[in-house]
Amino acid sequence: MKTRVMAVIFLVQVFGGSGLWAVTRPEIDVPCVSGSFAIDGSAAEWTGVKSKGEGISFYKGDGKSGTSTKLGTTCLGTISNAADCRMDLWMAHDGTYLYILAEVLDDSYQPFGTANTNPAYLEDTLHLYVDSTNAKKANINGSEPIYYQTGYEQFGISTDGNIYGESTDFTTGTAKHAAPQGANPDGTYWKAKCTVQQLGATSYKYTFEERITLAGRTGRNMSPLLPGTSYGFNAEFCDSDGTTALQGWIFWSSNGFTDCYNSENLWGTMNLAVVPEPLTCLLLAAGGLFAIRKRK
């Protein structure tokens, strides 16, 4: 009996202490860049970031479906295949702003106009979630409104710029309240733009480009995001095919069956790269100049 007890203690110490039984989360690396982005819904300035190979992609059938022990792609409602909804996403920062580029492929696009009288999630809408305090809180319920949660931000915007009902307070609306009808990203702390391109008879590409202030905003939920640190992050696309109704939606990170907009514990991780020291920047620049001269 004593031998068995010692064996159990050993297994707990080795496997439990090493985190081998912990939940595995998808990660996205966020490189530090020296340039800025126009936030005009164009991917033209993202060539360098894309070349680093640090972006993510997710769609139904991508082989990365989420489970209770390994979080990943989670489809809810009706998402048929990659042609119905696929997202490729990249991030970068410059020490002041967090930049996001998301390219979404969809097989049905219906413009909804600019009146924006319906909640944004009923349209073709991109959601970016940030857990800036790494709270990993589960199942935030209606008795504690999600837009009161310190550290929680949901940056949601549709293809036509609608943010009505979204749980972000980086808007022209009131702090710590869902975005009211007619609200917009405030343009300073959060800036966003989407463009739509028709690729074929049943193929559309949405290019979302966004910028979020790393320092946060006084009196709002998001805490400062520090370079060299990791934070909870998730991406979701709400797919509306043909009508103003939510047909299906897909998360980058969840357990395969949970609508985790209110469950930070099921989100993935974004790793913000450190900002290089000035000397490092000079050495990198000098190295680049030397390489150019050498090639000549």
Mean per-residue pLDDT for 39-51?
Answer: 97
User: Are residues 251 and 74 in contact, defined by beta-carbon separation less than 8 angstroms?
Assistant: yes
User: Are residues 57 and 102 in contact, defined by beta-carbon separation less than 8 angstroms?
Assistant: no
Dist CA 189 CA 171 (whole Å):
8
Q: What is the pTM of this model?
A: 0.86
Chain length of the chain: 296
Burial class (CB in 10 A: 0-12, 13-18, 19+), 84: buried
Extract the tokens encoding 77. 């409602």
The hierarchical CATH code for the domain 23-276 is: 2.60.40.1190
- pLDDT one-digit tens code per residue, 52-69: 999 999 999 999 999 999
Indicate the domain borders of the chain.
23-276
Rounding to the nearest 10 degrees, give the CA dihedral for residues 25, 97, 58, 146: 70
Dist CA 150 CA 220 (whole Å):
8
Q: Of 15-24, 49-58, 271-280, where does the model show the most confidence?
A: 49-58
In this prediction, residue 197 carries a pLDDT of 97
Our CA angle for 272, 277, 281, nearest 5°, is 100
Whether 242 shows a pLDDT value over 80: the answer reads: no
In this prediction, residue 176 carries a pLDDT of 84
In this prediction, residue 282 carries a pLDDT of 47
Rounded to whole angstroms, the maximal C-alpha distance in the chain is 76
Mean per-residue pLDDT for 210-225?
Answer: 95
- pLDDT one-digit tens code per residue, 165-212: 998 889 998 888 889 998 999 999 999 999 999 999 999 999 999 999
Mean per-residue pLDDT for 74-85?
Answer: 95
Mean per-residue pLDDT for 212-232?
Answer: 95
Nearest residue to 137 (alpha-carbon basis) of 286, 277, 262, 269:
262
In this prediction, residue 205 carries a pLDDT of 98
